[in-house]
Structure 1
Amino acid sequence: MIENPKSALVKKVAALARKKERVAHGRFLVEGPQAVREALLHRPDLLETIYATTGTEGWQAEIDRLASEREVWVERVTPEVLAGMAETVTPQGVLAVSKTWELSLEDALSDAKLVAILHEVRDPGNAGTVLRAADAAGADAVIFAGNSIDPFHPKVVRSTTGSLFHLPVAVTGSLEAATAAVRAAGITSLAADVRGASLLEARTEGVLRGRIAWIFGNEAKGLSEADRALADRSLKLPIYGAAESLNLATAASVLLYETAFAQRDPAD
């Protein structure tokens, strides 16, 4: 049992909330029973150590069993120690330290049929929600491009509720590199933009039935003219009511599912 919340170990784990430390050590925080469970189920090879309090919570027996089966070490800690390690104000009793990874665009896009590209997306909640929606819609990869937030940011990881461990996630420094890799893989890139052509017309034309990579821009600024020029086409999601717009995560969820429906249309 680790009991000292001021120990060097606690400080070392807590420091992973900062990008500088994540990059330096190649590690990141996975907080909460759902995210830890999904990591154990899908990528136990990445997990270094699990830190958990003792108690009667329903998740504890399952996480202990999964960790034992997958040979991941569980360290017992006091609630005070866990609070000192966690990025959240009210941690849920368990967190893990996981290795980060580097995945090439070519490997991420290999055989991909549906891809989400996040360009200059800065809000961790939005980024995590889009990644989760991409996972739910059956996407094959998510790419973080440009100055988008780090996918290993604690708030991004929590927002994905485990989806981070379900599908390939790659990072690239520019949208140009992402779209070039998409084009080389034979995938059509579609920019989601209010100045684009009609989504309904594109759907009628059968555009969404092919291999598609959606490009989603910054929450406030969207995509620039230069960004849109990198895509094969720009399409807009229609708004039928009085709302001025949809937020990034909502629009992305609709477009990803719309594409997933088209790709799975039994009429084809």
Structure 2
Amino acid sequence: MTADAIDVRNPRIVSAVKLHRAPQRRKTGLFLAEGANSVTAALATGRVRELFYSAAAATREHELVAGAAAQGVRTTLVSDRAAQALGETVTPPGLVAICETLDVEPGAILAAQPRILAVPVEMADPGNAGTLIRVVDAVGGDGVILAGDSVDPHNGKCVRAAAGSLFHVPVARGRNIDATLDEIAAAGIVVLATAATGEVELDDADELFTGPVAWLFGNEAHGLDPAVAARADHRVRIPIRGRAESLNLATAASICLYANSRVRYRHT
């Protein structure tokens, strides 16, 4: 471990801070993972290039930092100013790893014969994307395919919201929505779309969950494009029995994916 803390002007810190920007992530094939959950998960994959830690983090997460060093990861003590620059939160945890990006092709996910897939379409909010990845991980899902002009999964807010799950669940990007849906259909996967006026109520959908399923979730502001929803094999609605007008994307996705998982794991 480095004896003296390096400051914000150090070239390594300057280079790392640039990874907050998507063009630099694409150029270098690197991104930042912030916080103990994400760093622990990243270390388990062997994709960490360097771990920056503050003095406070060294005390709080001593075993994590020591474990990284034991793996041969370069571990570097940084000043509080540098930790602030590396982090993106108001109170940064002082623990940031430079990681190799986790780019996966949709075809690779489909070749693994997934049983539960989440396919957010035109998802713009990185926090929602990270939450969705975390939910897929929690319910035992097999992958996420971000379709269309969706958020970069290596965005810092997405990585933090995923809380380590980005390193557990394969995440792909399928920029051409129609081509992505064609690939999913060709793999023999039933495509379901969430829709407020769907013809199938979620409570009655158990039979659909006995085989492989891909869930289409729409944009936070506008929902699914009707043309995209029309390509699904079935459109599923969540019954709302109270007075709420609707559910936000992350909540609706959580309910649907859990319902799917309950049936899938009951039949295994």
Q: Which runs of 5+ in 2 are unaligned?
A: none
Task: Name the residue aligned to 2:167.
Answer: 165
Report if the CA contact (8 A) 2:123-2:219 is conserved. yes
Q: Which amino acid aligns with 1:26?
A: G
| 1:25 partner amino acid | T
Residue of structure 1 in register with 2:225 after alignment: 224
The alignment of Structure 1 onto Structure 2 pairs a total of residues equal to: 264
Report what 1:5 is aligned to: 8
What's the counterpart of residue 24 of structure 2?
21
Tell me which moved more, 3-12 or 123-132: 3-12
Moved more, 100-109 or 150-159: 100-109
The secondary structure found in structure 2 opposite 1:263 is: helix
Instruction: State whether residues 108 and 141 of structure 1, in contact with CA within 8 Å, keep that contact through their aligned partners in structure 2.
Output: yes
> Any idea what SS the aligned residue of 1:196 has?
coil
Indicate the residue corresponding to 2:205 in structure 1: 203
Aligned to 1:127: 129
Task: Report the alpha carbon displacement of residue 73 of structure 1 after superposing the two structures with TM.
Answer: 1.5
Give the CA deviation at 1:70.
2.6
Matched, 1:70 2:71: yes
Other-structure match for 2:92: 91
* Alpha-carbon separation, structure 1, partners of 2:94 and 2:146: 30
- Whether the 8 Å CA contact 1:36–1:95 is kept in 2: the answer is yes
**RMSD over aligned Cα, in angstroms?**
1.7
Q: Please, which moves more after superposition, 51-60 or 190-199?
A: 51-60
| Paired residue type of 2:134 | R
Segment drifting more, 194-203 vs 47-56: 194-203
Name whichever of 76-85 and 1-10 sits farther off.
Answer: 1-10
Scaled by the length of structure 1, the TM-score of the pair is 0.93
Partner of 2:108: 107
> Structure 1 CA distance, aligned partners of 2:59 and 2:86?
22
CA distance in 1, matches of 2:60, 2:145: 31
Q: Which structure 1 segments of 5+ residues have no match?
A: none
Provide TM-score, normalisation by structure 2.
0.93
Q: Report how far residue 80 of structure 1 moved.
A: 1.2
1:189 aligns with 2:204: no
Q: Structure 1 vs Structure 2: percent identity of aligned residues? A: 36
| More deviation, 84-93/212-221 | 84-93
